[in-house]
Structure 1
């Protein structure tokens, strides 16, 4: 019995050392590449010799234990014909933490009296489907969905749209200014310290490629417009 316990302990020690060596090798490889994003954690995967590299923006890549190979893509677990996208599950959780960490004071929030859950929408005031979604803000609120807008001017932070969005964020009444902008009406030009550029950069980091980009409370991305009833059902189911 003592030999069995000793063997188990040695195996655990070897596994721990292998994991530590893999972390060091992977981090060295990323440093050599001047990788642009910080690594938050490196952990084992169900695949022997393959390690999960969690990035600060919530995204995941994979690396071999010797650090010589990096892999970007989805890791799918095949469970008796019932596939699970392990990468998507991990990324959604991490991205949800990033998105939900944006202070609400830096967002344009349309909140119901008794919210059931919330969505965070990276939006552009000139985007047609963003405007269509905004027309349903009242219905979403009635269904218990708090809508939090983050800025994502598609033409970039030096565009006229970005200038309008800065005025929205600097307005005394952000909700009214956002509604005017989404209706194609003029917004009084105002300047202040604002989060538009930071939110645009964050959106790019978490994979926003178009607007509206809707993140549910659990970090799941709903790309593009979805009618209020369907969106509310999905938001409540994925809190």
Structure 2
């Protein structure tokens, strides 16, 4: 298991072990015992999932470190309140459904950043299509065409599709669309714009730029 960092956990005698990617385990001080699972803290009588919070921090750092220039960006209209990152596949019907709601998200002040995740793997039709989008002179126009069921010319160039696919796998993405909020929360599957825009995790996290 590739270990990225080790730090003290909130529970005395137990250490937080962050693996490469976003996964978090716990270990004894001598390293002889490892615990896999969630750690909860009771606050005002309610359980708070500390492991999930720690894993979100890792996801947020990785995803928000993706250069914006390597994404397909749909900027917010007016004030940018927050952003979401969407792992997408042009062969995915629910990705098309979510894409139809991007204008509504933009109107609500949410910037949408697409990254590539060919759900059937590298070398699949989705991979070829995503590479064509990322190699287009106008990535937004190419993405719009694909979402409308239109074809674009196949293209090859130095592109980040394989890197983004690997990143998605490292944080547990296994299908599309996968929506990552600014705080690192990963939401699998389609969600309507109104629901996304109302979530506290979206409202309380400002946009980051790279």
TM-score normalised per structure 1: 0.81
2:91 corresponding residue in structure 1:
126
Q: Does 1:136 align with 2:101?
A: yes
Where relative contact order (Cα < 8 A, 6+ residues apart) is larger, the structure is 2
Greater fraction of residues in helix = 1
Aligned pairs for 1:148-227 within 5 A: 148-227=113-192
SS at match of 2:118: coil
Alpha-carbon offset, residue 238 of structure 1:
4.4
Structure 1 unmatched ranges of 5 or more? 1-34
Instruction: State the distance in 1 between where 2:38 and 2:205 align.
Output: 21
2:196 corresponding residue in structure 1:
231
Q: Does 1:145 align with 2:110?
A: yes
1:88 corresponding residue in structure 2:
52
Structure 2 unmatched ranges of 5 or more? none
1:105 corresponding residue in structure 2:
69
Aligned length: 203
1:53 counterpart (17, 20, 36): 17
1:72 counterpart (30, 33, 36): 36
Q: Work out which of the two has the higher radius of gyration on C-alpha atoms and give 1 or 2.
A: 1
TM-score normalised per structure 2: 0.91
Pick which of 100-109 and 85-94 moved more.
Answer: 85-94
Instruction: State the distance in 2 between where 1:77 and 1:205 align.
Output: 27
SS at match of 1:175: helix
Instruction: State the distance in 1 between where 2:20 and 2:54 align.
Output: 13
Instruction: State the distance in 1 between where 2:197 and 2:91 align.
Output: 24
